[in-house]
């Protein structure tokens, strides 16, 4: 149990276009989901915390108008990178917390590798 999926697993897009990444908790309800980005050989940096039915909380330095997050249901959160630029190329990983298990463990999706040309 406790599986988190992401789609797509990789995407290549042209500069200026928008890309949507989906994160789903497959067998549990996730009131809270998190979005991270990871540059090669670096750590995971939290971008935003997404709570079902409310606005996402963004970390300092993350542009909320550029990285749109929607958490419309207990099993789905989406991240849309708007007007993508080459510097947005990164590995984006979502994670979800199983509400019934408290906050002890976060389950991570397999990540989405975004390349902006």
Partner 1 sequence: GQSLEQPSEVTAVEGAIVQINCTYQTSGFYGLSWYQQHDGGAPTFLSYNALDGLEETGRFSSFLSRSDSYGYLLLQELQMKDSASYFCAAYSGAGSYQLTFGKGTKLSVIP
- Per-residue b or e along 1-36, where b marks 16 or more CB atoms closer than 10 Å to that residue's CB: eeebebeeeebebeeeeebebbbbbeebebbbbbbb
List 13, 46, 62, 68, residue binding partner 1 (CB under 8 A): 46
Task: Considering only the stretches 15-23, 63-71, 72-80, 97-105, report the one whose residues sit in contact with partner 1 under the rule CB under 8 A.
Answer: 97-105
CA gap 40, 91 in Å, rounded? 8
Minimum gap (Å) between residue 39 Cβ and partner 1:
11
Contact with partner 1 (CB under 8 A) among 13, 20, 29, 51: 51
Does residue 111 interact with partner 1 by CB under 8 A?
A: yes
| Sole window of 13-21, 61-69, 78-86, 98-106 interacting with partner 1 (rule: CB under 8 A) | 98-106
Minimum distance, C-beta of residue 82 to partner 1, in the bound complex (Å): 24
User: Which among 20, 35, 12 has a CA at the least distance from the CA of 86?
Assistant: 12
CB of 16 to partner 1, least distance (A): 27
CA quadruple 38, 44, 45, 47: dihedral, nearest 10? 80
Contact at 8 Å (CB) between 24 and 4?
yes
Is 57 a binder of partner 1 (CB under 8 A)? yes
């Amino acid at each position: 149990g406790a599986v988190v999926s992401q789609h797509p697993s990789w995407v290549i897009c042209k500069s200026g276009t928008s890309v949507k990444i989906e994160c789903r908790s497959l067998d549990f309800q996730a009131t809270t989901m998190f979005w991270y980005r990871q540059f090669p050989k670096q750590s995971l940096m939290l971008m935003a915390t997404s709570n079902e039915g409310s606005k996402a909380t963004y970390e300092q330095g993350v542009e909320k108008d550029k990285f749109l997050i929607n958490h419309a249901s207990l099993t789905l959160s989406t991240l849309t990178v708007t007007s993508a630029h080459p510097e947005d190329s990164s590995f984006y990983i979502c994670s979800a917390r199983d509400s019934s298990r408290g906050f002890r463990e976060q389950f991570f999706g397999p990540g989405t590798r975004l390349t902006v040309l």
